[in-house]
Amino acid sequence: MHPLRRRRLAFLIAVLTALGLATGLILVALEENLQHFYSPTDVESGKAPSDRRFRLGGVVAEGSLARAPEGLGVRFAVTDRFRTIEVHYQGILPDLFREGQSVIAVGRLEGERFRADQVLAKHDENYVPKEVAEAIARARQLKEAEDATP
């Protein structure tokens, strides 16, 4: 390679390495601020702000969903399997919202409870056709019925 080109290439590689390192350090420094939501464990350990809005993320605990007899009020528990926080919400829930589904609730803490003004459903990385999902559910039911009968 021509010495001039070699020098240009070496210079470019040095600049790119420095740039990459600088970005890496900035990202490590910003770690906390780049998190989109806090888990219930974060909230219990006081990492989440108590005086302003933040996002609470986790799974809707099985059997925790309760709707108000009138109106759009709902109550459910968000868990990360270690800690659980009760969430109160008034409004329309996204289609994907169900027990066992990951959600992100936006709102603020009121004592021990979390009052949400927005609830978003988090989708996971699994894509399964409806028929396949139904077949899996049927097979599971069959297996449970077999296990139940001696």
- Applying CB under 8 A, does 20 fall inside the site for other proteins? yes
Pattern 86-105, other proteins, x by CB under 8 A: -------xxxxx------x-
For 139, list phi and psi in degrees, rounded to 5: -60, -40
User: Which residue, 42 or 61, has its beta carbon nearer to other proteins?
Assistant: 42
Kindly list the distances between the CA atom of residue 11 and the CA atoms of 7, 23, 25, in Å, as whole numbers in the listed order: 6, 18, 21
Helix (H/G/I), strand (E/B), else coil: 93: coil
Among 68, 133, 139, 142, binds other proteins (CB under 8 A): 133
Site for other proteins in 62-81 (CB under 8 A): none
Among 123, 138, 140, 143, binds other proteins (CB under 8 A): 123
Q: How far apart are CA 45 and CA 57, in angstroms?
A: 15
C-beta separation of 63 from 88 below 8 A: no
Q: Which residues bind other proteins (CB under 8 A)?
A: 5, 8-9, 12, 15-16, 19-20, 23, 27, 31, 34-37, 39, 57, 93-97, 104, 118-134
